[in-house]
Structure 1
Amino acid sequence: MKKRSNPISYLGWLGIVGVIGINTGDFMLQLFLIYFIFFTYRNMPADELFWLNIRKSATRAFILEIILNSVMIILITILEKYNISSAITSAIRISIIRGFGIIFLIALLFFIVMLAWYGKQERKSVEDIYDNNKY
């Protein structure tokens, strides 16, 4: 029977966009290099506990992204309210767009770190159970 790879590992292919970013020198495309980390899940079994860890990590990352996006929107609203937007140059507008990209990167990194942390917790609990059952 052929062993299927973990579906999360397919996200690693998005890292190719980061390689394109290196070749073109575009900073925002280079952020896609972080997706190569998902290739490490290729041989991990996709069982119920793994999907539970995905759900918990994704929920926390989603909440973090909502909070950071809200702060960014509040900052943009303040700029608009005090009519500072008329003085905003195109460089500042590009910085605002990049800010949303960086917020996405922060949420993605948070998701990856939380997923790794839950995996480490799972391995530690299995080792503790194994050590306690040893005679």
Structure 2
Amino acid sequence: MVRRHELTDAEWELIEPLLPRPATGRPRVDDRRVLNGIIFKIRTGVAWRDLPDRYGPWQTCATRFRRWAADGAFAHLLTQVQARADAAGLLDWLVAIDSTIVRAHQSAAGAGGKGGILAGTNRTTTPSGGPEVG
């Protein structure tokens, strides 16, 4: 039985050939175990040290995550999976999601300080769709 945060057999069959292969070296912890550990960490937000033992040593999961992120393995994986889904007609490219984030300085967000929103009382406000109120 596949656990909630783990790859199904079908997902693994799609992803496995796309992962980087080590050239040589000592036997390594199974890529599927490690990738499931990485997914678990990202989905739950636990610290690396708190990964369940079923994913192998937490140091292995953390190291492989950093290595795969640095060498572009995740970006390559996404590109390849998208290309295959697109070729199979499974993607609708007409859908667009904008996740722009605008960051403001603390004082601009009303956190106090000189010139913050709470500092002045003689400001002119304009309610949405209404006349100016002063």
TM range (shorter): under 0.3
Bigger helix share: 1
- TM-score by length of structure 1 reads 0.26
- TM-score by length of structure 2 reads 0.26
Considering Cα pairs closer than 8 Å and 6+ residues apart, tell me whether 1 or 2 has the greater RCO.
Answer: 1
